[in-house]
A = this chain, B = another copy of it.
């Protein structure tokens, strides 16, 4: 039975992340999404260190971002990150960045990660630890 997992991470916009248009530079967002992913990972036990200690890397192979509205210094955004269940040996996340003052959606994104071993060889099948993680969270 499939449900889903979600987490919300508040962002602090750094002065250095704002460009000369006074908005967060578009290339900063992969960092924000990674912050959310690591936050999710820490919450549910799927962070880099856990993956690494199980013998794997989980590199990003796809990243799709739609920028709806700019973020400015002083705004209080949050990233809502949602795990998208999949049977493939992949980790798929959907993201929304919300301006918590206006409740407007400023960005949506999706990332796809695959698994490799420590020699960076692609794993075609779900690693055992990942299958067990999915079971433990009622995702399969």
> B65 contacts A63, CB within 8 Å?
yes
With A19-B18, A31-B27 as given contacts, are A67 and B73 in contact (CB-CB < 8 Å)? Answer: no
- Nearest B residue to A65 via CB reads B63
* Binary flags per residue of A36-78, CB closer than 8 Å to B gives 1, else 0: 0010000000001100000001011111111110100110000
Minimum Cβ distance to chain B for residue A66 (Å): 5
- Nearest B residue to A27 via CB reads B30
Prevailing SS type, chain A contact patch: mixed
> A16 contacts B15, CB within 8 Å?
no
- Chain multiplicity (copies): 4
Partner of A70, one of B18, B66, B120: B120
Q: What separation, in Å, do the CA atoms of A12 and B20 have in the docked complex?
A: 17
Q: What 16 new A-B contacts, CB under 8 Å, besides A15-B25, A20-B20, A62-B67? A: A14-B31, A15-B19, A15-B20, A15-B38, A16-B19, A16-B25, A19-B19, A21-B120, A23-B120, A26-B30, A27-B27, A61-B67, A61-B68, A63-B65, A64-B64, A64-B65
Contact partners of A68 in chain B: CB under 8 A: 61
- Residues of A whose CB lies within 8 Å of any CB of B are 12, 14-16, 18-23, 25-27, 30-31, 34-35, 38, 48-49, 57, 59-68, 70, 73-74, 120
Q: What separation, in Å, do the CA atoms of A57 and B34 have in the docked complex?
A: 27
Contact partners of A63 in chain B: CB under 8 A: 26, 63-65, 67
